[in-house]
Amino acid sequence: MIEKKKNMLVTGVSGLLGNNLVHYFKDKYEILGLYNSHPVTIKDIATEKCDLSYPDNISRIVTEYRPEILIHCASLTDIDECEKDKDLAQKINVIATKRIVDEVIDKDVRLVYISTDAVYDGSKGSYSEDDAINPQNFYGLSKYRGEREILRKEESLVLRTNIFGWNIQNKKSLGEWIIEELKEKQKISGFKDAFFSSIYTMELARVIDIAIKQSLDGVYNCGASDGCSKYEFCLRIADLFGFDKALVASISIDKSSLKAKRGKNLTLNTQKLQEALHYRLPTINYSIEAFYRDYRCGMCEEIKKKQAGIQERPDIIPYGRQWIDTKDIRAVDNVLRSNRITQGPNVEKFEDTIAKYCGAKFAIAVNSGTSALHIACLASEVTHGNEVITSPITFVASANCAAYCGAKPVFADIEAKTLNIAPEEIEKKVCQKTKAVIPVDFAGQSCDMATIYNIIKKKEKALNGKIFIIEDASHALGSLYKTKRVGSSVFSDMTVLSFHPVKHITTGEGGMVLTNDENLYRKLRLFRSHGITSDPKKFTNADLAFQLRPSAEDPLVNPWYYEQIALGYNYRITDIQCALGISQLQKLNRFRKRRREIVNMYNKAFGGVEYVHIPFESADCNSNFHLYVLRFDFEKMDIDRAQLILELRNRGIQTQVHYIPVHLQPFYQRNFGTKLGDCPNAEKYYSQCLSIPLYPAMTDEDVAKVITTIKDIIKA
């Protein structure tokens, strides 16, 4: 059995060292890399934007990802920039570090902090860890303050270093700059009086690897085992790479245009670390040789190229889309490598996880939201001669599920504000034939379920019969109604969810029914899988099912035996899909937060625009917006909806209409006699609505483009 990899969190993955470290460690650990200002996509590595200076951000990451090792590389390393903007340097190099330590100080996390040789004053060289700390610039001071924060945690390692390597961004480390300039036969200058003990990033990664395995704690110098001037460093690279050394000139650092003060001799004594690890650190020459070997092997191009990642940017901004990361793919891959890929342990785990999240007792996962609606109707014993009341503003599946059972779908009009089915319209439609009501939580906002529940309970008494409430919450996973999560089924017999790719989380295709009624739960399980049971208590053909044993009171069940006791369907979901669902659910709170951020930007942008109406949100509901629907008074505007949609698409923005009222579909008009005028509020809404892009992977730039483009087209 393959041993599970430990989780490693690396900050600053868009920087030189952070990126090189994940390249080195990617086969040894399960890695999540964090960036802030510079998004990066790295093959086989999960990366995520995170501003570390906000405590909630790192708290969420640590809680969700549960790292066992955290390497903190993120910092502002531009020495002159740190001197110019000390507040920014303090925020990035000190406050962010403090936030990390605050979050992991009491957790079983090994913390590695990358510090700098600039904590020393550079007056003498060959600095040991016992030498006085006297930084000559704010960069060195801020990194030392970061060290002190790190050392509050017992299991922590501080490495003071100076590095060169391959940068994923379009900027060059010292080593890369030398190569590129000399390759183009450009003259360069190196400081003859500035000395350091620089180490190649991949060699530093090897040292960190050894230190982690040996559980090393404390403060150590970690550079080359010797030192040289920066002028000599340039010459050595030129010599090994075969460039003209005559292009390299020597100058004094005193004659440079650098703004911040630098120490001149920052060579490091690394004896303490070498003795602790029983490992000989490389010389500068060895590091340069390793740098050269990796250059010849193409590592530079491999690191720098923008590899096609999991979330490759589309040419057009869609109205909705999934967000799949490397962790999701690995979850699926683990199932594909296991013995069971259809009905395995992840199905039940996914059901239990969703039920717990929503606050329901039972959950049945199926292969689509449509299947979930169908088996909910079957469990409600919906059949020929029955009526099922639902909303006209929904996908056709909310009504089709009743038609599948031979019942008549009946459409109750919506509320003009919430766009959800109106409780008073339900009350008007309930009759002796009504077997079920399917309220639809449109766009993420819960229906007024308490009022609907009370209406149905009164009608049940008046009509002396059970009327099932099946809440279609396909749009509303993660939403709240009266402080309870949608899906708790407090005001319904069953709640249906969908995991289509444009929904809040995805299993590819998939759905679920939640309930607190054990009897309904058993029926749902039966209808999901052909109506077949393997429960001996349900068997009716005793002669086929059991073997009588001598001197035994209980008969022996034939191990191969099962019975079909109802007409069920093959609506089973796979273990592969559920593994994806479990992984996706861990990100639901993050997805919800991002959706709300985008909604707030849209509300602010369109709230005061003439002839445009933003979504209304009931005080009883906290919506996890699945859709963001703007309503336009097209009759008063100089553009119609078709023109607006086409022009937006021409400019790279996809929109959609949700929905064509179901009662206007030809199938329903032909088979159930529905017609224009049946649901005036729904029909008016349909004439005005347009769903604009909303999904968590949208960047602020995407949102800004949507806003400015719409405003430009409608001349707002």
Tokens of 623: 């919506």
- What band does 689 get if pLDDT is binned at 50, 70 and 90? very high
Cis peptide before 659 (omega within 30 of 0): yes
**Lowest mean per-residue pLDDT among 91-95, 298-302, 620-624:** 298-302
pLDDT tens for residues 612-662?
999 999 999 999 999 999 999 999 999 999 999 999 999 999 999 999 999
pLDDT at 1 over 60: no
| Cβ neighbours of 418 (radius 10 Å) | 22
* Mean pLDDT calculated for residue range 12-41: 90
Longest C-alpha distance within the chain, in Å?
A: 104
pLDDT at 40: 81
- Given a contact cutoff of 8 angstroms between Cβ atoms, the answer to whether 69 and 112 are in contact is yes
pLDDT tens for residues 559-572?
999 999 999 999 99
pLDDT at 71: 98
pLDDT at 246 over 90: yes
pLDDT at 313: 47
Tokens of 616: 């209304």
Q: Residue 313 and residue 315: Cα distance in Å, rounded?
A: 7
List the chain domain ranges: 7-304, 326-530+568-585, 532-565, 588-714
Q: What is the DSSP string of 318-356?
A: -S------HHHHHHHHHHHTSS-SSSSHHHHHHHHHHHH
pLDDT tens for residues 302-319?
777 644 344 444 578 999
Give the amino acid at 310: I
- Given a contact cutoff of 8 angstroms between Cβ atoms, the answer to whether 198 and 160 are in contact is no
pLDDT at 551: 54
Higher pLDDT: 552 or 415? It is 415
Crossing angle (nearest 10°) for helices 230-241 and 284-296: 40
pLDDT at 605 over 50: yes
Residue 154 phi/psi, 5-degree rounding, is -65, -50
326-530+568-585 shares the fold of 7-304: no
Planar angle of CA 566, 440, 582, nearest 5 degrees: 70
- Given a contact cutoff of 8 angstroms between Cβ atoms, the answer to whether 489 and 342 are in contact is no
β partners of residue 47: 33
- The contacts of residue 535 (CB under 8 Å, 6+ apart) are none
pLDDT at 96 over 80: yes
Strands 199-200 and 163-164: parallel
Architecture category of domain 326-530+568-585 in CATH: 3-Layer(aba) Sandwich (3.40)
CATH topology of domain 588-714: Aspartate Aminotransferase, domain 1 (3.90.1150)
Please give the class, per CATH, of domain 7-304: alpha beta
pLDDT at 167 over 90: no
Please compute Rg for the chain using Cα positions. 32
- The CA–CA distances, whole Å, from 94 to 35, 176, 682 equal 17, 29, 55
Nearest to 151 by CA among 206, 72, 75, 81: 72
Q: Residue 636 and residue 116: Cα distance in Å, rounded?
A: 64
Q: Residue 207 and residue 213: Cα distance in Å, rounded?
A: 10
DSSP, res 3: P
Percent over 90 (pLDDT), the chain: 83
pLDDT at 549: 61
pLDDT at 324: 87
pLDDT tens for residues 191-236?
999 999 999 999 999 999 999 999 999 999 999 999 999 999 999 9
- The CA–CA distances, whole Å, from 442 to 398, 473, 600, 627 equal 11, 8, 19, 8
Tokens of 559: 């191990």
pTM score? 0.71
Residue 17 phi/psi, 5-degree rounding, is -70, -45
Strands 387-390 and 408-411: parallel
pLDDT tens for residues 474-529?
999 999 999 999 999 999 999 999 999 999 999 999 999 999 999 999 999 999 99
